[in-house]
Structure 1
Amino acid sequence: MIQGWICLFVTLAVYVVSKQIYRIRPRVYLSPLLITPLVLVIGLLWIDVPYETYHSGGKWLSAMLQPATIAFAVPLYKYYNVLKKHAVEILVSVLTGSVVAMCTSVILAEWMHLDNRLISSLVPRSVTTPIAMNVSQVIGGVPNITAVFVIITGLLGAMLGPLVVKMFRIEGEVARGVLFGTSAHGTGTSKAFELSSLTGTISSISMILAALFTLGVAPILISVLIR
């Protein structure tokens, strides 16, 4: 138990230090969302700490995801009029993005000749971890593998998202928010809030909508696309 609390303290310390470095040099490759898990994985493997030991302390950080998600209600209330004005665009964009993400996951997985369980594990990769794991279980995937895909998707989305925004000159805050929230869930939303409060708010609602759409569409899509 003591080792678990030490792991929790080390996790927080690594995040705080990497956050300070990122503030001094805001480079994509120095993002705390990339550096923190990388340092922790290397450290745990080096000193041979079992995952169960780490999880006994790290689980408290996971438990904080729920109140953190609820906290998104504050900016949602603040920008309610903007959300209401762009409701149709947001709904259509998120639904389209969610379906495309799931379809491309299946197509890519079949091209790589992965088995059906891995394909099902890959499908809900673009939504927040708790819902992605539930969807994975429902459609016959492996929730733990899905969690890994979700983390990778979130990190790539947070790293590549700003490059996509710059490359395609996406100026609208609503468009930026939908981009991050639909493609990179909570990790992308965290990055979106760095751009602006409104972008982060749109991203948070897009993340929630993407999760709901995936929850409803994924079982149907799997039955149609996987032979």
Structure 2
Amino acid sequence: MIGLICLLGTLGLYAVSKRIYAKRPKVYLSPLLITPVIIILILTWAQIPYESYNKGGKWLSSLLQPATVAFAVPLYKNFKVLKKHATEIIAGVLTGSCVAMISSAFLAKCLHLDTSLVISLVPRSVTTPIAMNVSQDIGGVPNITAAFVIMTGLLGSMIGPMVLRMFKIDNDIARGILYGTSSHGAGTSKAFENSALSGTISSISMIVAALFTLGAAPVMMHMLAH
């Protein structure tokens, strides 16, 4: 019973926070930030163990696998856009993805973090479903990776506009690649606030980055280990 209440409560809280964000699109009101923070406060206050919460929450986690497959749909629908800007998208995404993985592992090692945390950090710059799968495949902790992914998305949404202004980037293609590669879903939402084209390119970049990381992360971790 507690699991069902937690599941419905999570869905309701996310729906409410999403409506609030739609009216006031501020980063600190993002559903990705508000929902987990409130859930943690409620669980702590009510002294509900995570295991009890997860009896209902696990159904949401199970939806991550079909969500991964569903990425093929926007990729197919936007294939003409992908084909037209293939060079820019692929070059930008591959560069950004490599820098993200290498810098994550390097920074984690410099901070002398536990090996499992180092590995869990590597796929932080791709969307949650694939990031968790990659983390599991390379020996990380998927739940920790998910937390890093959310943090990366939120930070990217906040820092992205400043980077665009600093370097005077006003091209929709460049904006889309930046947001989609660096801050996945949260960044894509931000990109759509700029323009439909920027959001579309961001969606494609996010998917391409996820697919590249899925194949490159195990190889990169093997290289870093030696």
Question: TM-score w.r.t. structure 1 length?
Answer: 0.86
Question: In structure 1, what is the equivalent of residue 41 of structure 2?
Answer: 42
SS class of match (1:134): helix
**1:149-160 to 2 correspondence within 5 Å?**
149-160=148-159
Q: Distance in 2 between matches of 1:71 and 1:134?
A: 15
Further displaced range: 50-59 or 106-115: 50-59
Query: Post-superposition shift, 1:15?
Result: 2.2
Report the Cα offset of residue 64 of structure 1: 4.3
Q: Which residue of 1 aligns with 2:31?
A: 32
Aligned equivalents of 1:73, 1:137: Cα separation in 2: 22
- Structure 2, unaligned runs of 5 or more: none
1:176 is the counterpart of 2:147: no
Change (3 A) 1:80 1:119: same
Counterpart contact for 2:32–2:150, Cα < 8 Å: no
2:48 is paired with a residue whose SS is coil
8 Å CA contact 1:3–1:53 kept in 2: the answer is yes
Distance 1:109 1:124 in 2: 13
Amino acid at match of 1:220: V
Q: CA deviation at 1:79?
A: 4.2
- Which residue identity does 2:122 align to in structure 1? V
Task: Tell whether the 8 Å contact from 2:135 to 2:145 is kept in structure 1 after alignment.
Answer: yes
2:109 counterpart of 1:95: no
Residue 215 (structure 1) aligns with: 214
Per the alignment, in what secondary structure is the counterpart of residue 126 of structure 1? coil
Unmatched 5+ stretches in structure 1: none
Aligned pairs for 1:1-227 within 5 A: 2-65=1-64, 76=75, 79-226=78-225
> Secondary structure at 1:101's aligned position in 2?
helix
How many residue pairs were aligned? 226
Instruction: State whether residues 128 and 207 of structure 1, in contact with CA within 8 Å, keep that contact through their aligned partners in structure 2.
Output: yes
Cα–Cα, structure 1 residues 79 and 132, in superposed 2: closer, same or farther, change >3 Å? closer
- Give the whole-Å Cα distance in 2 for the aligned partners of 1:18 and 1:194: 18
Q: Percent identity among equivalent residues?
A: 66
Shift of 1:3: 1.8
Once structures 1 and 2 are overlaid, which stretch shifts more, 93-102 or 188-197?
A: 188-197
**d(CA) in 2 for partners of 1:226, 1:27:** 40
Residue pair 1:121, 1:145 contacting (<8 A) in 2 also: yes
**Separation of aligned partners in 1, 2:209 and 2:15:** 30
Q: Which of structure 1's runs of 4+ aligned residues deviate more than 6 A?
A: none
- Give the drift of 1:217: 1.9
